[in-house]
Structure 1
Amino acid sequence: MIIGYARVSSTSQSLDIQHEALTAAGCEKIFAEKVSGRSTSDREQLALAMSFAREHDVFAVTRLDRLARSVGDLHRIIETLTQKGVGFRCLNQPGVDTDSSMGRLLIGVLGAVAAFEVDIRRERQMEGVRKAQAAGKYRGRPASIDPTKIKELKAGGMGAAAIAKQMGIGRASVYRALAA
């Protein structure tokens, strides 16, 4: 059985193109979700697809970045599938499969490139933030804890637990503010 997995990052994006490609490739069962690919921990349909797969099945995706955005996640997924005796195929990237040594090498290389792209994007974003900060246009998130108020409440005789409860913060945050 060929099992398909499709993913887009946001709810405004469509899964139709991936679904059509997976169906055309002979996928009998397709798992799809609209969730960020940064981590595999909150991808319910991916977990279901991987647990659904049985020995001699093939797990298919349209592109490698639909499956994983980091080399570590990609290798963990491929290793899990391999241990179950499940093959892997990437439709839009011919030769990216677990059927051959070259295919496994390509998976590693393309996974590294995808991770590199994520790192480059993050670096550009941080560069933009630093530039905006220097121009006075970006101040970041406002502080959610007011150390002055915490110290005033403590001076008024309130305990750390009561201060934390009143301000809606953790007790450890109260202790950090008092130590500062």
Structure 2
Amino acid sequence: MLVGYARVSSTGQSLDIQHEALTDAGCEKMFAEKVSGRSTHDREGLARAIDFVREGDTLVVTRLDRLARSVGDLHRIIEKLTEKKVAFRCLNQSGVDTDSSTGRLMLAILGAVAAFENDIRLERQREGIAKAKVEGKYKGRKPTVDVTRVKTLRDDGLGPSQIAKTMGIGRASVYRALAA
């Protein structure tokens, strides 16, 4: 049985194109989710797909980056599938499969390239943030804790636990605010 897995990174994105491609490829069962692919943690759709597939099945994705963003995650997923004697196929990167040694080689190479691209993207993002900070355009995330109120409550005689409860924040946040 061909089992499809589709993923987009945010709720504003559509799964329609992937769903259509997987259906056209002959997938009889589909799993999909809208969640970041940075790691396999919190990816319930992927977990259900891996749990569902049985020996002789093939897990199909449209693109390799829909399955994993790091080489480590990719290898762990492929290892789980291999242990279950389940094949893997990628539609848009032909030759990427676990059915042949060439396919497995291509899988490893493309996984490394995807990880490299992700590293470059993160590096560019960090450079952009650093430049924006120098230009005074980047202020970071808006504070979520009112430091003045924390200090006022402390001056009124409340302890960190009481301040946290009163403000609906964690005690660690109270300590950080008091240290600021």
Answer whether TM exceeds 0.5 for this pair.
Answer: yes
Cα deviation per residue 1:88-140 (whole Å; 9 max; x = unaligned)?
11112122111122222221111111111111111111111111111111111
Moved over 6 A (4+): none
Counterpart amino acid of residue 60 in structure 2:
A
SS at match of 2:26: coil
Task: Map 1:16-165; keep pairs closer than 5 Å.
Answer: 16-165=16-165
Q: Distance in 2 between matches of 1:179 and 1:160?
A: 12
Q: What value does the CA root-mean-square deviation take over the aligned residues?
A: 2.0
Q: Alignment identity in percent?
A: 72
Counterpart amino acid of residue 8 in structure 1:
V
Change (3 A) 1:173 1:34: closer
- Deviation of 1:176 after TM superposition, in Å, equals 4.1
Q: Distance in 1 between matches of 2:11 and 2:158?
A: 46
Q: Distance in 1 between matches of 2:156 and 2:12?
A: 51
SS at match of 1:30: strand
Change (3 A) 1:158 1:20: closer
Change (3 A) 1:24 1:144: closer
Q: Distance in 2 between matches of 1:34 and 1:151?
A: 41
Cα deviation per residue 1:17-47 (whole Å; 9 max; x = unaligned)?
3223222222111222232222222222211
List runs of 5+ in structure 1 lacking aligned partners.
Answer: none
Counterpart amino acid of residue 108 in structure 1:
A
